[in-house]
Amino acid sequence: MKFAFTLIKYFPFGGLQRDFMRIAEACLKRGHEVDVFTPYWQGEVPAGLNVTMLKLKALSNHKRRLAMSREVCRLTRDNRYDAIVGFSKMPGLDFYYAADSCFAERVEKKPFWYRYTGRCRSYLLLEQTVFAPQAATQIMLLTEKDRETYQRYYQTPLERFHVLPPGIARDRLAPPDTNTIRRQLRAELKIDPETYVVLMVGSGFRTKGTDRAMRALAALPAPLRNNAVLVIIGKDNFRPFRRLAGRLGIQRQILFFHGRDDIPRFLFSADMLLHPAYRENTGTVLIEAMAARLPVLASDVCGYADHIAKADAGQLVPSPFDQDTLNRMLAEMLQDAAQRDRWGANGGHYVAQNDVFSMPEKVADIIEGSAPC
């Protein structure tokens, strides 16, 4: 079969982008042909993947989205594809991989005037073309909660939804030589073996709650704070967060890294994962941390937070978010090594007993089984 995949941006270390690549590779392994349409591609193009770079004449993000949807429709309208799969919302899709949260729900939390802006009207229009009752797009979701949200706003028929399992890579599973990896990485980073390492992984620092994490580190009791480092990995602008670290007096205890290929080494070497996101449709790193037997402290708004609760693999900061609550929970977790070990073991057991790997194959199954004739 021949598929057209489309997404607004590809770079190697984004969560959506990693999902896209693993789904594309699953389709290629089955002998299908995959053409990709995108205006932005960073990194190598895997063998067998046909990438078409879209030239869009638009300055603002929402106008780029509209221009992209028009260009993709133009390039795919001759029906030479068995299925058109979107990783961005746009008209004309046979399948949509819903990694983004419901925009209509987010609009409700904005000032009343926001809905009259061009940005808001454009994004609502693109979302409606996918989720409206009369649309034909099959929708692949990552959480059941998302289905309930979209149906509340758009009355989308139930039969058009497909809820997927998580899809982490197996290299996130803790290996037998975890202690050796931990010693080696800490030696490379010049971190003392007895220092607490708190890990954050995710591009888009503002959304992921990096400022919350830094404030929580700064609020630790002095003996604990002076023996802890926060390692932050992701694609974003470091400068405003370096300035915040300076204002908080913790600049020496923050390590920033751009996106990396060796994330498992950090998962195996840290003492806990911190993910106090403002908004997070899933939070794949939460599942990855459980596979690595790493205890988690995350905000309960994360789509995959329910896995942490079911596994008893850490703690969730309740909504509405309170910074003092996060500060207290971080201090308590760092001071209780025995409980961290129990949470880590619980996460590893949960991953061993549940399907957290098969998402790319399930997406390929759905496209193959439901592709228009």
* Residue ranges per structural domain of the chain: 2-165+358-370, 170-353
- Quick one: DSSP state of residue 57? -
Q: Which residue type, as a one-letter code, is found at position 57?
A: K
Q: What is the mean pLDDT of residues 211-237?
A: 96
| Predicted local distance difference test score (pLDDT) of residue 222 | 95
Q: What digits encode the pLDDT tens for the residues 176-222? A: 999 999 999 999 999 999 999 999 999 899 999 999 999 999 999 99
Q: Tell me the C-alpha distance between 14 and 257, whole Å.
A: 14
Q: What is the mean pLDDT of residues 20-41?
A: 97
pLDDT at 14 over 90: no
Q: Which residues pair with 4 in a beta bridge?
A: 35, 84
Q: What digits encode the pLDDT tens for the residues 144-155? A: 989 999 999 999
SS3 string of 353-370?
A: HCCCCCHHHHHHHHHHHH
Whole-prediction pTM: 0.91
User: At 371, is the pLDDT very low, low, confident or very high (cuts 50, 70, 90)?
Assistant: low
| Predicted local distance difference test score (pLDDT) of residue 78 | 85
2-165+358-370 and 170-353 share one fold: yes
- Supply the CATH classification number for the domain 2-165+358-370: 3.40.50.2000
Choosing among 3.40.50.1100, 1.10.730.10, 3.40.50.2000, 1.10.246.90, the CATH entry for 170-353 is 3.40.50.2000
pLDDT at 249 over 60: yes
Q: Which residues pair with 53 in a beta bridge?
A: 38
Q: What is the mean pLDDT of the chain?
A: 95
| Predicted local distance difference test score (pLDDT) of residue 126 | 98
User: At 117, is the pLDDT very low, low, confident or very high (cuts 50, 70, 90)?
Assistant: very high
Q: What digits encode the pLDDT tens for the residues 34-87? A: 999 999 999 999 999 999 999 998 889 999 999 999 999 999 988 799 999 999
pLDDT at 332 over 80: yes
Task: Using CA atoms of 85, 91, 97, 99 in order, give the dihedral in degrees to the nearest 10.
Answer: 140
Sort residue 155 into left (φ over 0), alpha (ψ -120 to 50) or beta: left
User: At 372, is the pLDDT very low, low, confident or very high (cuts 50, 70, 90)?
Assistant: low
pLDDT at 227 over 90: yes
pLDDT at 373 over 60: no
Q: Say if CB 17 and CB 9 are below 8 A apart.
A: yes
| Predicted local distance difference test score (pLDDT) of residue 370 | 76
* Token pair for 311: 């596994």
Q: What is the mean pLDDT of residues 21-30?
A: 97
Q: Tell me the C-alpha distance between 327 and 57, whole Å.
A: 46
User: At 339, is the pLDDT very low, low, confident or very high (cuts 50, 70, 90)?
Assistant: very high
Q: Tell me the C-alpha distance between 141 and 287, whole Å.
A: 16
| Predicted local distance difference test score (pLDDT) of residue 79 | 74
